[in-house]
Amino acid sequence: MKQLSLIMVLFVGAVINSIAQQKMASTKIGENITMKIPTGFLSMSNRDRMEKIASSKIPLATYSTESQEVTLSINDNPMQWTSEDTKVVYGFYKASVNALFDEVKYIQDTIKQINGREFIVFEFVSTVRDDNVFSSRSGERNYTYIQYTSYNDQVLLFNLGCPARMQLEWEDAAEEIMQSIRIK
């Protein structure tokens, strides 16, 4: 029993230590976006990006930890969206998230103001079942924090993802990253 308690204390200490070590640096993405990025993140090569991030176009920026288990991507998509359309767009994106996975457990599922701008926010843990014939990621569970906002007739998309086993280590950092987004 003592050994189990010691292991739990060490595990919790390691998680707290790793969370505390997520130092951030303000980073400029293009001309009009500024946000905090963990200092340990590396810009992803085109090859790494194509292997890890599903996107029909080249993202504005992609970052990852050295192990590439945690990724952060910033993308834009042409879509006419005004503030009056937010609830409709919210429903569209929520349906898209639900269709991508066999199971989605939402932590956040909302529309909120961040630094004077309205964002659609989804934070969730997703699962792809072993019997999903359309996926090569069977049995995979992931933690995702994703935000969408309207900007100059496009949708800006901010997406941080990692294996669900790393959620506790990254959820506070994900919140800090997403709350730091500033768009001119």
| pLDDT computed for residue 39 by the predictor | 95
Give the pLDDT of residue 6. 42
- pLDDT-flagged residues of the chain (< 50): 4, 6-7, 9-10, 12-20, 132, 135
Q: Which residue ranges form the domains of the chain, and what is each CATH number?
A: 24-183 (3.40.1000.10)
- The string of DSSP letters for 142-160 reads EEEEEEEEEETTEEEEEEE
The pTM (predicted TM-score) of the whole model is: 0.82
- Model confidence over 61-85: pLDDT tens digits? 999 999 999 999 999 888 777 767 8
Using CA of residue 182, residue 34, residue 148, residue 128, what is the dihedral sign?
Answer: negative
pLDDT value for 49? 67
Q: Which residues pair with 106 in a beta bridge?
A: 124
Residue 178: Cβ-neighbour burial (10 angstroms; 0-12, 13-18, 19+): buried
pLDDT value at residue 48: 65
